[in-house]
Amino acid sequence: MKYSKPKSGNVFKLIIRDIVDSNRGLWIVFKESSTVHKLIPLGFAVGLVGGILTKFIALEYIILLLTLVMIFTTEVINSAIEEVNDLVTEEKNERVRRSKDLASGSVWVWHQCYIIEFFFFLICHLIHFAWWTQIIPV
pLDDT tens-digit readout, 73-125: 999 999 999 889 888 888 888 988 898 899 999 999 999 999 999 999 999 99
Structural domain harbouring 40: 31-135
pTM: 0.82
Tell me, yes or no, whether 37 lies in a domain. Answer: yes
What are the angstrom distances between the C-alpha of 118 and each of 19, 23, 123? 34, 30, 9
Are 122 and 50 in contact by the 8 Å Cβ rule? The answer is yes
111: domain CATH number is: 1.10.287.3610
